[in-house]
A and B are shown apart, each in its own frame.
Chain A
Amino acid sequence: MKETKKYWKGLEQLQKTPGFEKYANKEFAQELPLGDSDGETSRRDFLKVMGFGVAAASLAACETPINKAIPYVKKPVNVDPTIADYFASTYSLGSDQTSVVVKTREGRPIKIEGNKLSSVTGGGTSAQIEASVLSLYDQERLKGPAAKGKEVSWEELDAKIKSELAIASGPIYLVTNSLSSPSTKKVIEGFKNKYASLTHVTYDQNSVSGQLDANLAVFGKRALPSYDYSKAKTIVSFGYDFLGTGANTPLANKQFAESRRLSASKKEMSRLYSFESVLSLTGANADYRSPIRASEQGAYIASLYNVIAKETGGQVIDGLPSIDNQILSKAASDLLHAKEYSIVLSGSNDVSIQMFVNAINVMLGNIGATIDFGRHQNIRSGDDKAFGQFVKQLSSAGGVIFYNCNPVYDHPLGSKIAASLKNISFSLATTDRMDETNSLVSYLAPDHHYLESWNDFEPVHGKYSLSQPAISNLFNTRQAQDSLLSWANMEVNYYDFLRMNWAENIASLSKKSILDFDAFWEECLHDGVFEPETVATDEFDADLSGLGKAAFNITKPSSFLELVIFENGTVGNGIQSNNPWLQEMSDPITKACWDNYLTVSPKQVEEWGIELGDMTTQMVNLTVDGQSLKLPVLPQPGQKYGTVGLAIGYGRSVAGRVGNQVGFNAYPMINVDDGGQLDFNIYANVTVEPTDEAYAIAQTQTHHTFMGRGNVIQEATLSEYQKDPQAGRHMPKIATSEGFKKPTAVSLWKGHQYANHHWGLMIDLNSCTGCGTCSISCQTENNISVIGKKEVLNRRDMAWIRIDRYYSSDSNGDSYADMEIAAENPEVTFQPMMCQHCNNASCETVCPVAATTHSSEGLNQMTYNRCIGTRYCANNCPYKVRRFNWFKFHDNEQFGDNLAMNNDLGKMVLNPDVTVRSRGVIEKCSFCVQRIQSGKLEAKKEGRRPVDGEITTACASSCPSEALVFGDMKDPKSRISKMLQIRSMEKGVEAQEPRAYHVLEELREMPNVWYLTKIRNKNEKTEAANAHS
């Protein structure tokens, strides 16, 4: 059928109006604004379009920068961009706890400072504490819970664990390091109530179990006492490194330095004796040091015991070895002169030896005077025997929970634990990162980093410290206590639990009547510490009856090669192995980094025929009881001949990209007896076979003596100082036409007049123990690059503040070649060295582009933007403190170990006030100009002058021994002005303190850094020192 209907769009179509007809056959009914009127595209238009096209295409090809900084739409209260916030908290890692203050910027923790309100630490920190902030931003941290290798949610994990715990047959073990947290202990108790088969075992990497057992035997209390080194006049240490690696080193350093600080009104100082095999930080600070074999320690202590007993009317025990050693006799007589004002210590983990040490301290009346058992320390409570028992029974256990510990790596029985773990159905770990232990367990319940946690601690009996999060958790982690609470079905979160515990048990200790717990809690959180005076401290009676029995167990000196296993002051026990700041920190004694090694006496190195080069050495095979390690050898002056030393904390296999396979694992070498007792000294079956294999150990200092240069190191003995406060000073004179003059009196320069401030730094060589905390503090504060072992071997370490460590030499000064050789048992001097901020700076004049200039406040400033990197300034710096950026150390995979600058997470630790330096520029100490600036601004805001002490550098603020004092030399009331007795001169200032000197004074650089002479409490100078003077 034919369609006849016609459809039309409108009347216009129907009527065929001319207006409609006009457009009817066109595609578009309306005129489109395309092209020129003639519809052709002109050549110009073509070029225009093509130009646009090319430009658009190339713009599209460029990656749009992704701006990850998100501004606050609604600004949180108390978070002001560019303004730092400080939170009191507590550092907690392994067995160590330290009250700290965390500096945060825009919500990111970037720096750890000591808490000056804490009497437990004295306000200092240590290198490991300073570095711990970087561990927060470590990519290797676990991102969330896991069950049998699979990622799960917390709910799933909780369900699985509860069912595992319910069906577990046999005892369940909870393994921890020493816990000092009262609330955590309470949580564990609650957990125990739920699961009765739970056994809690505790261990410490650097176990003092023997000492604790000895204390139990003698004083009836298994605890580590608090020592007060500041009161001590004589300290005798047998292999106990209380300054470097003992419990609570910040306080030990502070107190020790206090006992050695000298001034016009205090011309007495303590005397430290050290009897040890490996040169430790304590030995290096000793006035008298006697290298002994590790096996001789018992005999030395026993011999000292009898001498003291004889003089004090104690029980002389027959049959004890008697040692004829001049230094020991001297120590004995000093101890007897300093009754109640002395401390005798031993690092031995042998109960019998520690019994004698206790007996000596009792006879000298030190208990209750310098040694306080009432205020015992809770940070070391590990029990070797209990732990040994645990390892034996582990394979038949129903389950095991590792609470923030890594015994597979850091316990000598680690391999046995690893083997047993395979047979255990339920194993769990809470460590916040993959390590040797939790890579073997079935469940991972990662804990927060301490900077993300709530917690409380009681490091010393009756002295509390709080931990509060400085940042919310970065990953899907959960506080371990919360995990335990939820597994125990206790329907409370840890924060509430903690508060409750404090409200119920701790607040009542406060002297002030507490009306409002919230106010008390706020105050404690603000201060970070709560140190009530009212805590009862018990009195103890010493029971020395066990001595006779202990006498039988005193080890006989051996004549075989002995191995001493120790902890060093950088990586420590290895928990923070993946922290590149610590790995690159140069060891206070050996100045080596990125390695451990066998320390061997130079004589023995020669006997073994080890070929030594500039930082190169050879490997040896060390065998202990069938266990073998191939290790490099480091010749160590002061090491007892016949002994070798090896540091723990290295040779990690599951630590992360930084820490894996750095050095060699010494833990398995530690001797464990059948009862589980550890012995860090191995006397028998130690053999060393030299090999031909070469090895390079990276050291930041390879020349070890100061070549008798009195313009560098100025030292005297105490008696000389008492006679003449200027003793030991090297005072160069410049010959002029008018006779000899002081270097400062002859100058071509006009000098500087400072209108406002004149910053200065004073370094007391007598207080500095050389621990190196300042260098890590500086690294954190000033964004200093980590460059890796290879570049350290190339001698390019970037430290702005370094500790120069010098050994004395036996040379009489006749031959430079002899002066290069350190003495067999050297005196050690530490000299912190950083930019001296010279008033006549030789670097400033030589820079062709004026990139380094003098500020109106006495600082030598470095303008990175302007620097072209000729390195002329570095060459012309007599102190060699300028550092060059040889490569691009940030955002460069080649330097991936530089965690703080190579990934987004790591970069969160950078101090936004300090530029990250680009490749090709020089950098150096700035006297923390950013801190000066912020302090000045703070004062200006309040319309006042900065108060002395308010502005200080990172190094000075972290120094546990307060050896560095920073301040305004223009302010006559400042601490530095008073200590140095600053006097204004025509061309600068002069210190009238007789001990104050400038390094290389004769160069007339006129530094703003002053050193105070090193005074040793010795009766006589060594021959070498005599020769030099």
Chain B
Amino acid sequence: MSSESVIREPLITGGKTVHDVTEDISRRVEEKPTKLWMLAMTISLGLLAIGAYTVFLLLWHGVGMWGLNKTVGWAWDITNFVWWVGIGHAGTLISAILLLFRQRWRMSINRAAEAMTIFAVICALQFPILHTGRPWLAIYWMFPLPNTFGSLWVNFNSPLLWDVFAISTYFLVSLIFWYIGLIPDFATIRDRARNKISKSIYGALSFGWDGAAKTWSRYETVALVLAGLATPLVLSVHTIVSMDFATSVIPGWHTTIFPPYFVAGAIFSGFAMVLTLMIVTRKVYKLEDYITIQHLEMMNIVIIITGSIVGVAYLTELFIAWYSGVEAEQYAFLNRATGPYWWAYAAMMTCNVVSPQLFWFKRIRTNIAATFVLSIVVNIGMWFERFVIIVTSLHRDFLPSSWAMFYPTFVDVGVYVFTFGLFFTCFFLFAKFFPVINMAEVKSIIKTTGEKAK
């Protein structure tokens, strides 16, 4: 009896040919902007403008425009920072780690995921600058630049400085990695371009790509090298961000579990954001054959795993707080769960630990609507996680005399809205003018498996 191995599901459905791929993806770049796009762009710019006004207020009057106080020195600012950085993890993870693991299903989502990464990191970067009291100095005093102040140098002991290096490195590597991947596709668009302007622009963007075998070979090599470089960064960035808290003395922050817990949380939220965006993009751009249910399912599985890791981390924290015998630590965690911010803790627990468990049901994880809703729920939960860590730890620490509540102001909300405006403006520009799926790579997988090849 002859046995036959199970045929893998094709990664790209609909019997696409190489030409179809080029057509489907390039068409979006070449066509006139749709009404829907114009509407989305207008809303994004509107958010950006409203947000920019609050940023102006913040810069004009001072950080006091936020609701921070003598006890709670960070709240929405750093919450948003960590949240955006976390979201910015998925892209590189998908492109780098999955590339090294030869997970070819990543090919149709990595472009958009990387773009999202870059935009999220740009949004994240607003906060370290805006949260400082004197941003006009912070913007360059944070770097170890030679100066005329004598022996004045940055403090290499400070986790904030590590942040500066970690995030700037991550941003640059991600940007280069993303851009290198874009070059062959830009060349395709250049070659198809019908008017001079787009020909010259895409021509410049494609750096004279000639499609020669040698070029492809170098391209592959560079991609691999960059993937190798980017891989440790995926782990390092959020590890270092977590050290802002882990190396401090504040109960609720001073926790060795933070690095793995933060990285898992970052991947968790990053995948959720990729899902949110992909579900919309595939629908609007009719890319259902490229981004299939299988893709969504794979990502949902990643979400279950990372969500569970995060859940275990939450429980471990509670256990360790009890086991440590340290009074302030015990109180900090009890206060999180039952204190005045219990609702934030409850929101975090529900959104991050309970809701992803629904993905154990195949029907839910293959349901697009459910996936969409849950992906948003996860990101709400992850925002609350950072809020809980930052605000509820600070608001009641060692000396009860200083205990205080934090109440956000409209400027807190406005600056968050500003980053949303920034993110979506960038993303919609990307979706219109850049190929949203890596054509070159996708072409390599359309025939690898499937019934046709049999």
Instruction: Tell me the A residues contacting B by CB distance below 8 Å.
Output: 614, 701-703, 705-707, 709, 711-712, 791, 794-797, 802, 804-806, 816-817, 831, 833, 842, 845-850, 866-872, 874-876, 878-880, 882-888, 918-922, 999-1000, 1002-1003, 1005
Contact = CB atoms under 8 A, between A and B. Distances in A.
A703 B400 contact: yes
Contacts of A842: 248-249
29 contacts: A703-B401, A791-B64, A796-B69, A796-B70, A802-B401, A804-B399, A816-B331, A833-B401, A846-B157, A846-B159, A846-B160, A847-B160, A848-B154, A849-B141, A849-B142, A850-B153, A850-B154, A867-B133, A869-B133, A871-B68, A871-B131, A871-B133, A872-B160, A875-B74, A880-B71, A884-B73, A920-B132, A1002-B326, A1003-B398
B311 interface: no
B318 interface: no
Interface stretch (B16-24, B91-99, B280-288, B402-410): B402-410
B37 to A, nearest CB: 39
B70 A707 contact: no
Contact of B327 (A709, A796, A804, A918): A709
B70 to A, nearest CB: 6
B137 interface: yes
B172 interface: no
Contacts of B402: 701, 703, 880
B225 interface: no
Contacts of A871: 68, 73-74, 131, 133
A920 B400 contact: no
Residue among B71, B133, B247 having the largest count of chain A Cβ atoms under 10 Å: B133
A919 B67 CA distance: 16
A878 B398 contact: yes
B134 A707 contact: no
Contact of A796 (B64, B155, B159): B64
B64 A886 contact: yes
A522 to B, nearest CB: 48
Residue among B134, B142, B152 having the largest count of chain A Cβ atoms under 10 Å: B134
Contact of A847 (B69, B158, B399): B158
Interface in B127-164: 131-135, 137-138, 141-142, 152-155, 157-161, 164
Given A791-B64, A887-B64, A848 B160 contact: yes
Interface in B67-104: 67-71, 73-74
Contacts of A882: 70
Contact of A845 (B133, B158, B400): B158
Interface string B328-340: 1001001100100
Contacts of A880: 70-71, 397-399, 402
Given A703-B403, A806-B401, A886 B134 contact: no
A9 B244 CA distance: 95
B440 to A, nearest CB: 41
Nearest to B390: A875
Contact of A848 (B67, B161, B335): B161
A703 B398 CA distance: 12
Interface of B: 61-64, 67-71, 73-74, 131-135, 137-138, 141-142, 152-155, 157-161, 164, 244, 247-250, 326-328, 331, 334-335, 338, 394, 396-405
Contacts of B399: 712, 804, 833, 878-880, 999-1000
A846 B142 contact: no
Given A712-B398, A874-B70, A880-B71, A920 B331 contact: no
Contacts of A794: 64, 67, 69
B401 A846 contact: no
Given A796-B70, A920-B133, A846 B248 contact: yes
Given A846-B160, A875-B250, A878-B249, A870 B132 contact: yes
A711 B404 CA distance: 20
A711 B249 CA distance: 15
Contacts of A875: 73-74, 248, 250, 394
Contacts of B142: 848-849, 868
Contacts of B71: 795, 880
Contact of B400 (A614, A806, A847, A868): A806
A802 B402 CA distance: 10
A212 to B, nearest CB: 40
Contacts of A796: 64, 69-70
A816 B334 CA distance: 9
A869 B159 CA distance: 15
Given A872-B160, A884-B70, A921 B134 contact: yes
A850 B160 contact: no
Contacts of A876: 248-250
Contact of A879 (B73, B132, B158, B398): B398
Contacts of A884: 63, 68, 70, 73, 133
Contacts of B164: 848
Nearest to B134: A920
A701 B401 contact: yes
A1 B85 CA distance: 107
Contacts of B131: 870-871
Contacts of B331: 707, 816
Contact of B63 (A795, A833, A869): A869
A999 to B, nearest CB: 8
Nearest to A707: B400
B398 A614 contact: no
Given A876-B248, A919-B134, 17 more contacts: A709-B398, A795-B404, A846-B248, A847-B155, A848-B154, A848-B155, A850-B155, A868-B135, A869-B134, A871-B73, A880-B397, A884-B63, A885-B133, A886-B62, A886-B63, A920-B133, A1000-B399
Contacts of B249: 842, 876, 878, 1003, 1005
Contacts of B335: 816
A919 B59 CA distance: 11
Given A848-B154, A849-B154, A795 B70 contact: yes
Given A703-B400, A885-B133, A920-B133, A848 B158 contact: yes
Contacts of A879: 398-399
Contact of A868 (B64, B70, B132, B247): B132
A816 B250 CA distance: 19
Given A796-B64, A796-B70, A848-B160, A921 B403 contact: no
A614 B403 CA distance: 11
A797 B335 CA distance: 25
A252 B157 CA distance: 49
A797 B404 CA distance: 12
Contacts of A849: 141-142, 154-155
Contacts of A888: 62
Contacts of A846: 157-160, 247-248
Contacts of B404: 702, 795
A1015 to B, nearest CB: 21
Contacts of A791: 64
B322 to A, nearest CB: 14
B160 A870 contact: yes
Contacts of B67: 794
A362 B74 CA distance: 62
A876 B245 CA distance: 9
B408 to A, nearest CB: 12
Residue among A703, A816, A920 having the largest count of chain B Cβ atoms under 10 Å: A920
A707 to B, nearest CB: 5
Contacts of A831: 401
A849 B133 CA distance: 13
Contacts of A845: 155, 157-158, 247
Contacts of A705: 400
Residue among A706, A805, A850, A882 having the largest count of chain B Cβ atoms under 10 Å: A850
A152 B405 CA distance: 55
A833 B62 CA distance: 27
Given A791-B64, A845-B158, A848-B164, A868 B137 contact: yes
Given A842-B248, A848-B154, A888-B62, A706 B70 contact: no
